[in-house]
Amino acid sequence: MNGAERGELERLRDAVSDLIGFGFEADRIVQLGVALWPRVQELGLSGFDAYISRLRAPEHRAAETTAVGSLLTVTETYFHRSYDQIVAFLDQVAEPAARSRRLRILSAGCASGEEPYTLAIALRERFPDIERWDVEIVGFDLNALMLKKAEEGRYSAWSLRALPPELKKKYFRKVERSYELLPAARSMVKFLHQNLVEPGVWPFEGFEADAIFCRNVLMYFSPDVMKTVVTRLTSSLRKGGYLFLGHAEALRGITQDYQLCHTHETFYYQKRPSEQERTEGREESEQKDSTAAAPAASETISWFEAIHAASERVMALAKRGELEGAPPSSLFTATLGKEKLAEVLALMEKERFSEALRLMEALSPEAKEEPEALLLFAVLMTNRGNIEAAETACEKLLARDDLNAGAHYLKALCLEHSGDEEGAREHDSIAAHLDPTLAMPRLHAGLLAKRAGDLLTAQSELTRALGLLAREEPSRLVLFGGGFSRESLTSLCRTELARMGERFE
Ligand SMILES: C[S@@+](CC[C@H](N)C(=O)[O-])C[C@H]1O[C@@H](n2cnc3c(N)ncnc32)[C@H](O)[C@@H]1O
């Protein structure tokens, strides 16, 4: 590809991003060209530059949004997809709404409608009096062809594959080889052609939704677009309302407006109260912190203790200089100052924990309360074996930023130490959900599962940890590796897996 062709593809990528928000890495722009070329041919245009002009012309915007959307998105969806989340919705959102009998729900990126219709069926099944409720379920998508299918309400057996047979019988009528949704559930859902990133056009401002489902949509967007889209969704959600995302999507690094919920073996988010209410809550929780009783000591040797023991002797095994030039961990924002952060990390890497701590202690009272400082302090306290101080720092950090994966991991270590292995597993699983690239929660979860005799989970977690360790950022290993080098941690995973292999035989 010559420079002119690359330039043309880059302009195409920018036009597509402006139209529907999709992000394309530099190494994928050729694929973008391949995907959109059929559309250029279908329109009889001379090439991409002509197509770019069309993409930018207001009169073609709606048609091209659908065309580009259909060529670039996967519209795969089905009834009862990730049903754990639907049950969480029924219990956490719909049950409390039974008092007022009022519910507002958005299905953002609803494709051919299976998601909002699943909600309608689930509500009918749970609440026999739903006809007397004031319910509004709105599904929207940028793909007009999918919306047409949604409005027709006719589905293949494949779309109904996860639906229990009794519900299929009760809510559908067989028409030739398709299944037609009956009016009872169908009439509960309205559809709208709406692009989540259309500039200036957002009809759901102040919609006061009780729940928004935006599953398997955000993954297409660049981080900046994702922020804009989440801000829009937030403006449509009532305070305390819930946001359900796909399994591979998380709000880490996108917004602080939500707290993570983990129930029904699934994850979702709840919109936080206003800043003022949050500050009041914080003051209350700080008072609680200061009076919290010390956790009971565990009889078993925990990973926390192993870290404490190792932090003084094994750090020397970590490759010296590995940290040099490495970017500060992505778990940090720049507020504490990259230099100060790098200084503390460099001291930690050289096992100079006391100096690192002194550096932290010299921070101003305000700087000490910043999330970055709290996280570093929690790490230092963990390495020193000071569980109480580590846990207090974690609690404070999570009260400010409960989407902080590192804090959840450190909390898991503290809980394991105090004998609460179930709590530890929960926090490891939250950390892994919030940052699927973080190796240590996987490793820790693997060791916990092995100790509990759950060898299948142990094997799967340690295998994932092994893969992640190979790519883990050096600075994050210094922070969370507990004083062990990448090689030591890798070898630990391998040894544990090999031992289990023997036991499985
Ligand atoms: C994989 S489907 C997800 C369907 C359903 N939410 C689910 O999880 O089963 C993704 C849908 O998001 C829609 N989508 C992608 N970008 C969008 C945007 N900017 N505005 C509205 N819808 C969008 C696509 O058209 C597609 O139908």
Is the model's pLDDT at 296 over the cut of 60?
Answer: no
- Nearest atom of ligand 1 to the alpha carbon of 197: 19
Ligand 1 pocket: which of 83, 141, 230 to mutate (most atoms within 8 A of CB): 141
Which residue, 350, 354, 377, is CA-closest to 365? 377
DSSP state letters, 148-188: HHHHHTEE-TTTTTTS-HHHHHHHEEEETTEEEEPHHHHTT
Q: How confident is the model at residue 180 (pLDDT cuts 50, 70, 90)?
A: very high
φ, ψ of residue 140 to 5 degrees: the values are -140, 160
- Cα(410)–Cα(483) distance, rounded to whole angstroms? 14
Average pLDDT, the chain: 85
What pLDDT was estimated at residue 27? 82
- Nearest atom of ligand 1 to the alpha carbon of 81: 9
Residues 6+ apart with CB under 8 A from 419: 295, 296, 297, 298, 299
Hey, is 244 helix, strand or coil? Answer: strand
- Domains belonging to the chain, first-starting first, are 3-72 (no CATH), 83-272 (3.40.50.150), 300-504 (1.25.40.10)
CA of 148 to the centre of ligand 1 (A): 14
pLDDT digits (tens, 9 = 90+) for 34-85: 999 999 999 999 999 999 999 999 999 989 999 998 899 889 999 999 999 9
pLDDT digits (tens, 9 = 90+) for 272-292: 876 655 555 555 544 443 332
CA of 413 to the centre of ligand 1 (A): 38
- Furthest-apart CA pair in the chain: how many Å? 76
Is the model's pLDDT at 266 over the cut of 70?
Answer: yes
Per mean pLDDT, which range of 10-14, 152-156, 358-362 is the poorest? Answer: 358-362
- Nearest atom of ligand 1 to the alpha carbon of 213: 6
- Which residue's CA is the nearest one to ligand 1's atom 27? 111
Sheet order of strands, 178-181 included: 154-155, 178-181, 172-175
- Which residue's CA is the nearest one to ligand 1's atom 15? 217
Ligand 1 pocket: which of 66, 142, 193, 215 to mutate (most atoms within 8 A of CB): 142
pLDDT digits (tens, 9 = 90+) for 193-216: 999 998 888 999 999 999 999 999
Is the model's pLDDT at 147 over the cut of 60?
Answer: yes
Ligand 1 neighbours by CB, cut-off 6 Å: 20-21, 69, 73-77, 81, 109-111, 115, 141-143, 146, 195-197, 215-217, 220, 246
Is the model's pLDDT at 405 over the cut of 60?
Answer: yes
Are 430 and 259 in contact by the 8 Å Cβ rule? The answer is no
> Which element (helix H / strand E) includes 60?
none
- Nearest atom of ligand 1 to the alpha carbon of 21: 19
Share of the chain above pLDDT 70, in %: 86
Is the model's pLDDT at 339 over the cut of 80?
Answer: no
